C-alpha cells in the first residue's frame, strides 16, 4: 500500500518541478552564468565590494528586521479579524472578506498617493487632529519613515492572515475549547493552551508568506519609505538598472534566494512536526450567530478597524477619482475612453480590464494545476526529497523580478521556447509567484485530514485517485478557494515582472495606471485614480465570483 502510493506521489511532484525547471531555474542559471563568467561586457571584478563594504550587510540586516516587525504587527492586528470570519455568521460577510483582499492588488504608487492624502502633512488625519486639538503644525509625520513602511506592509498583508488562518480556524471543531471551558479554564488560558496550538500550522503558513513578502518588498520601500531605506530587492534593482552592475545584482539575488531557502527549510521542518490530524467540521457547527453583547463588541471592533484601516485609503482614492476642478464629476472616467493623443498605444480601459482578468484567470488555472499536485505530494510522509522540495517550491516568491526578467530574455530565445515576445509570458511569470500561495494554502488543510479516513477508503477498495476525490477534495474545498483567490489576486496586482514581459498592446490594469502617472497634468492623475478605482472594483467582484465556485458537494465544503 505504502509503496504504491509513494510512486504516485513522486509522479505528482513531476509536473510542478518541470515547470519550475523551465521557467525558473533555467532562466536563473542562464543569468548567473552570464553574470559570473568573465566576458568583455560583464566582469566579476566589482563583486569584492559585497564583502568589503558594510553597506550590503546593513541592507541584509534592515531587510530582515523590518520583515520580522511587519509580520508580527500583521499577525497581531489580523488574528482578531480571522477569528471574526471563522466564528461568526453575519450579513455582508462575503462582501467584507472580498473587500479586505482588495489592498493586495493595489499598485504601490497608488497606495502611496492614498496614504499621502490620508496621513500626509495636509492629509485628512492631520487636518482633523489639528482642528480638534487646536494644533499649529501637523502632529502625524509618517511620510518617508519606517512607520509608513510598516503600516503599508500591514495594509497589504492583512488579508493573508485573515484568509489563511480564518479559513483553517473555521474548520476547527469547537468541542475542544468547549471542554476546556467546562473544565474551568479562563478564556485567556483556553486561547493560549488550546486554540493557539491548534491554529499554529495555519498561523505559521500565513506568517511565512507575510515574512517573505516583506523580506522581498520593493515598491513599498522604494516609494513609501523613500530613498533612505533599501532592502536587498531595491539594491538589486539599483545595481542592475542604474549602475549596470549585473554581477553585483546577480550576487545579491543569489544571497536573497539562499537566505530564503534556508529560512524556508527550517520553517517547513518545523511545520511538518507541528501539524496534526483533526476532524474537520462544517460551518454550521463552527460558526455562530451574533447573540451576546460580547459578540457584538468583538464584531463591531474588528469591522470598524477593517473599514478605518483598509477602507479609508481606498475611499480617498475614489474621492480623488471624482474630484475635478469643477466639482464632483465622472470626467476622469469618461476621459479613460478617449484617445486624446491618438496614440497607437492607447488601449481602452475596458480592454485593460479584459486582459488583466484573462491573464489572472490563466495564471489561476496554471497555478492550481501545479499547486494541487505539489501540495498533495508534500503532504505525504516525511522523507528527504520532500524536505528539499518543500522549500524549493517557495523560492520564486522571493526572487527579484529584474533578475528573472533578464533571465527570460536569455533563456527563452529559441524555439520551442521562443516566448520572449509572447503575451503568454505574463500568466507564465505570474504563475511562478502565485503557485507557492496555492501550495501554502492547501498544505495545512491536507495535513489535517486524518489518515484513518484515507486508510478506511483504501481498505474498502478505493484506488488512490478515488480516495483523493472522495476524501481529500471535499475537505480541501475551502483551502482551494483561498489558494485560488490568492493566485488570482497576485496576478491582478503584479507589476514588477509584468513591466518586463507585458507587450504594449496587451497591458494590465496596473500597467495602465503607471502610464497615466508617467505624465504631468491633472487629467492624467485623475485618470490614474479612476483606473485604480476600477481595479479595486474589478478585483472585489472577481473575489466574490471565485468564492461562488467553492466546491459544494460533501456538505459544507
Partner 1 sequence: MKKIAWVILLGTAMSAGWLTPGIASADTSEIILMAHDSFSVGKAVVAEFENRHHVRLRFLKAGDTGAMLNQAILSKNNPMADVLFGVDNTFLSRALAADMFIPYRSPHLGDIPDELKLDPSYRLLPVDYGDVCLNYDRKWFAAKGLAPPARLEDLTTPAYSGLTVVENPATSSPGLAFLLATVGHFGRDGYLNFWKELRDGNVQVTASWKKAYWGSFSAASKGDRPIVVSYASSPAAEVHFADKLMEQSPTAAVVQKGTAFRQIEFVGILRGTKKADMARKLVDFMLERTFQEDIPLQMFVFPANKTAVLPAVFVKHARVAEHPVFVSPQDIAAHREEWIEAWTETVLR
* 100: region left, alpha or beta (phi > 0 left; psi from -120 to 50 alpha): alpha
CA atoms of 357 and 216, how far apart (whole Å): 25
- Omega cis (within 30) before 203: no
Residue closer to partner 1 (CB basis): 34 or 307: 34
Place of cell 455568521: 89
Number of residues that bind partner 1 (CB under 8 A): 80
Site string for partner 1, 231-260 (x = CB under 8 A): ------xx-xxxxxxx--------------
Residue closer to partner 1 (CB basis): 252 or 419: 419
Interacting residues with partner 1 between 373 and 402 (CB under 8 A)? 402
State the minimum distance, in angstroms, from the CB of residue 361 to partner 1: 5
CA atoms of 335 and 527, how far apart (whole Å): 7
| 131, 228, 289, 384: residue in contact with partner 1 (rule CB under 8 A) | 228
Residue closer to partner 1 (CB basis): 72 or 319: 319
CA atoms of 63 and 66, how far apart (whole Å): 6
CA atoms of 467 and 106, how far apart (whole Å): 40
Contacts of 188 (CB under 8 A, 6+ apart): none
Q: Is 297 in the site for partner 1 (CB under 8 A)?
A: no
DSSP 448: T
State the minimum distance, in angstroms, from the CB of residue 19 to partner 1: 14
Distance of CA 530 to the CA centre of its chain: 24
Q: Is 47 in the site for partner 1 (CB under 8 A)?
A: no
With contacts defined by CB under 8 A, name the span among 266-274, 278-286, 306-314, 404-412 that binds partner 1.
404-412
| 113, 161, 378, 536: residue in contact with partner 1 (rule CB under 8 A) | 113
324 membership: H or E segment, kind and range: strand 323-324
Q: Is 299 in the site for partner 1 (CB under 8 A)?
A: no
Within 10 angstroms of residue 514's Cβ, the number of other Cβ atoms is 19
Q: Is 121 in the site for partner 1 (CB under 8 A)?
A: yes
Task: Provide the terminal-to-terminal Cα distance of the chain, rounded to the nearest Å.
Answer: 28
Residue closer to partner 1 (CB basis): 131 or 414: 414
State the sign of the Cα–Cα–Cα–Cα dihedral 507, 511, 513, 519: negative
With contacts defined by CB under 8 A, name the span among 21-29, 150-158, 200-208, 504-512 that binds partner 1.
504-512
Interacting residues with partner 1 between 343 and 372 (CB under 8 A)? 343-346, 358, 361-362, 364-365
CA atoms of 221 and 227, how far apart (whole Å): 8
State the minimum distance, in angstroms, from the CB of residue 368 to partner 1: 9
Q: Is 477 in the site for partner 1 (CB under 8 A)?
A: no
Interacting residues with partner 1 between 425 and 464 (CB under 8 A)? 427
Helix axes 473-493, 146-169, angle to 10 degrees: 160
Q: Is 56 in the site for partner 1 (CB under 8 A)?
A: no
CA atoms of 153 and 104, how far apart (whole Å): 10
Interacting residues with partner 1 between 515 and 554 (CB under 8 A)? 515, 517-526, 549, 551, 553
Q: Is 109 in the site for partner 1 (CB under 8 A)?
A: yes
| 33, 186, 422, 541: residue in contact with partner 1 (rule CB under 8 A) | 422
State the minimum distance, in angstroms, from the CB of residue 547 to partner 1: 13
Place of cell 480516495: 467
CA atoms of 139 and 71, how far apart (whole Å): 27
Q: Is 33 in the site for partner 1 (CB under 8 A)?
A: no
Amino acid at each position: 500500500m505504502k509503496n504504491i502510493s509513494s510512486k504516485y506521489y513522486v509522479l505528482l511532484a513531476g509536473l510542478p518541478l518541470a515547470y519550475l525547471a523551465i521557467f525558473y531555474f533555467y532562466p536563473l542559471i542562464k543569468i548567473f552564468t552570464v553574470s559570473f563568467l568573465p566576458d568583455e561586457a560583464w566582469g566579476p571584478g566589482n563583486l569584492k565590494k559585497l564583502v568589503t563594504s558594510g553597506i550590503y550587510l546593513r541592507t541584509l540586516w534592515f531587510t530582515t528586521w523590518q520583515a520580522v516587525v511587519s509580520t508580527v504587527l500583521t499577525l497581531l492586528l489580523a488574528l482578531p479579524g480571522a477569528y471574526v470570519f471563522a466564528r461568526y455568521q453575519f450579513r455582508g460577510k462575503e462582501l467584507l472578506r472580498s473587500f479586505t483582499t482588495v489592498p493586495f492588488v493595489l499598485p504601490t504608487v497608488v497606495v502611496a498617493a492614498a496614504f499621502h492624502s490620508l496621513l500626509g502633512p495636509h492629509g485628512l488625519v492631520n487636518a482633523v487632529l489639528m482642528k480638534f486639538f487646536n494644533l499649529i503644525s501637523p502632529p502625524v509625520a509618517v511620510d518617508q519613515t519606517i512607520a509608513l513602511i510598516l503600516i503599508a506592509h500591514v495594509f497589504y498583508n492583512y488579508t493573508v492572515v485573515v484568509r489563511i488562518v480564518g479559513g483553517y480556524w473555521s474548520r476547527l471543531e469547537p468541542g475542544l475549547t468547549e471542554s476546556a471551558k467546562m473544565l474551568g479554564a479562563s478564556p485567556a488560558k483556553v486561547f493560549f493552551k488550546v486554540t493557539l496550538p491548534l491554529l499554529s500550522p495555519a498561523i505559521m503558513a500565513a506568517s511565512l508568506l507575510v515574512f517573505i513578502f516583506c523580506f522581498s518588498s520593493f515598491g513599498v520601500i522604494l516609494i513609501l519609505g523613500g530613498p533612505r531605506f533599501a532592502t536587498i530587492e531595491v539594491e538589486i534593482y539599483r545595481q542592475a538598472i542604474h549602475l549596470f552592475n549585473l554581477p553585483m545584482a546577480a550576487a545579491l539575488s543569489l544571497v536573497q534566494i539562499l537566505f530564503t531557502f534556508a529560512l524556508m527549510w527550517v520553517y517547513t521542518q518545523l511545520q511538518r512536526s507541528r501539524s496534526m490530524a483533526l476532524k474537520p467540521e462544517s460551518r454550521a457547527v463552527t460558526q455562530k450567530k451574533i447573540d451576546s453583547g460580547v459578540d457584538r463588541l468583538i464584531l463591531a471592533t474588528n469591522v470598524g478597524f477593517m473599514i478605518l484601516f483598509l477602507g479609508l485609503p481606498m475611499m480617498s482614492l475614489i474621492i480623488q477619482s471624482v474630484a475635478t476642478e469643477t466639482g464632483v464629476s465622472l470626467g476622469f472616467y469618461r476621459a479613460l475612453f478617449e484617445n486624446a493623443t491618438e496614440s497607437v498605444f492607447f488601449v481602452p480601459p475596458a480592454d485593460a480590464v479584459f486582459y488583466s482578468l484573462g491573464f489572472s484567470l490563466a495564471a489561476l488555472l496554471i497555478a492550481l494545476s501545479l499547486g494541487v499536485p505539489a501540495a498533495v505530494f508534500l503532504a505525504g510522509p516525511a522523507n528527504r526529497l520532500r524536505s528539499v522540495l518543500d522549500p524549493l517550491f517557495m523560492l520564486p516568491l522571493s526572487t527579484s523580478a529584474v533578475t528573472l526578467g533578464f533571465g527570460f530574455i536569455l533563456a527563452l530565445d529559441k524555439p520551442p521556447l521562443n516566448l520572449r515576445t509572447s503575451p503568454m509570458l505574463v500568466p507564465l511569470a505570474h504563475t511562478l509567484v502565485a503557485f507557492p500561495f496555492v501550495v501554502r494554502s492547501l498544505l495545512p488543510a491536507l495535513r489535517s485530514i486524518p489518515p484513518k479516513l484515507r486508510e478506511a477508503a483504501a481498505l474498502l477498495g478505493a484506488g488512490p485517485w478515488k480516495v483523493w476525490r472522495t476524501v481529500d477534495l471535499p475537505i480541501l474545498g475551502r483551502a482551494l478557494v483561498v489558494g485560488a483567490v490568492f493566485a488570482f489576486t497576485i496576478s491582478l496586482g503584479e507589476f514588477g515582472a509584468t513591466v518586463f514581459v507585458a507587450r504594449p498592446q496587451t497591458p494590465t490594469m496596473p500597467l495602465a495606471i503607471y502610464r497615466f502617472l508617467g505624465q504631468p497634468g491633472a487629467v492624467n492623475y485623475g485618470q490614474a485614480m479612476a483606473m485604480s478605482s476600477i481595479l479595486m472594483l474589478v478585483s472585489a467582484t472577481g473575489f466574490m465570483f471565485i468564492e461562488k465556485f467553492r466546491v459544494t458537494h460533501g456538505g459544507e465544503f
